[in-house]
Amino acid sequence: MPRPLWSGAISFVLVTVPCKLENATERHDVSLRQVHVEGGGRIRYRKTCDVDGQVLTEDEIGEGYEISKDHVIPITDQDLADMPLPTAKAIEIVAFIDRSSVDAVQYGAGSYYLTADGPVTAKPYVLLRKALERNEKAAVAKFALRGRERLGLLRPLGDALLLSGLHWGDEIRSPEEITPPDTELTDDEIDGALELMETMTVASLTELDVTDHYTEALHEVIEAKAEHRAPKPAEGEEKTTAPVVDLMAALEKSVADARERRGESADGGEATVHEMPAKPKKKTAAKATAKKTAARKTTRRKTA
């Protein structure tokens, strides 16, 4: 079990639900070290005191607020724990909103599972989850974590409650500064884009078969270097980008490619493969070669 990041309670007017906070996600990044290019030695960073030059360990290092260059006020963990902040030990629900009303840009870093802290807590925990499920609402909450007060969205996920971090309103930039100039589009171009979206639509993210190819490729590079060999070449054709000359032609080609990947024929139906007629026994070499070439092309076309 992962170690809880925070222990407190959900505060909902007069209802209190003791709970713990755990990370809802995990990272699979490949950790690379800094090394000396010539000798391969590890690069070390030492934390030293600028007064006496002493090298310090982690348990000897605290935090402080710099008022001026020569004046730093030490701030201890106990100072932070004793702050007069209502959300220091509580996730304070301030309002309920429709889940669909939250724009994706508002989601901040961090998603956390809330776990009921003890068997007695199970009933109010499940009650809050089921109430949120039934009315399709989400709770806007404030909570303190890692040295700052945060805004979050509390909503059900399966049989658990999920707390997703949100950006404060003043942290979100206006899109007006990057909006492109007014551009004329035809109805055919818009319909083509809609058709492409329809061919690529799935019911949920769980249906997508996607892979982190960068991490796979990096593992292959590391293994190849360790085994003193060249990395295996990438599978598939390398995609190249080029300026779009004919937008409609590009949309139609994209729709056809998407249908081919989904196993559909060009007209939107299921692709079928028909058995080719038997070849005559006596054919000249030239005619036999031409027949085989035509058969391969026809099979590929009908399979697409």
What is the pLDDT at residue 185?
86
Conformational region of residue 57, where left means phi above 0, alpha means psi within -120 to 50, and beta covers everything else:
beta
What is the pLDDT at residue 213?
82
Q: State mean pLDDT over 97-106.
A: 90
Q: State mean pLDDT over 238-258.
A: 68
Kindly report, residue by residue over 8-44, the tens digit of the pLDDT. 888 876 678 888 888 888 888 888 889 989 888 998 8
What is the pLDDT at residue 59?
87
Q: Token pair for residue 142?
A: 């404030």
Q: State mean pLDDT over 121-134.
A: 90
How many CA atoms lie less than 13 Å away from 137 in the CB half-sphere?
A: 14
Please say whether the beta carbons of 114 and 163 come within 8 A: yes
**Looking at this protein, which amino acid is placed at residue 160?**
A
- Residue 267 pLDDT class (50, 70, 90 cuts): low
Kindly report, residue by residue over 128-181, the tens digit of the pLDDT. 999 999 988 899 999 888 778 889 999 999 999 999 999 998 888 888 888 888
Residue 200 CA to residue 186 CA, distance in Å, equals 22
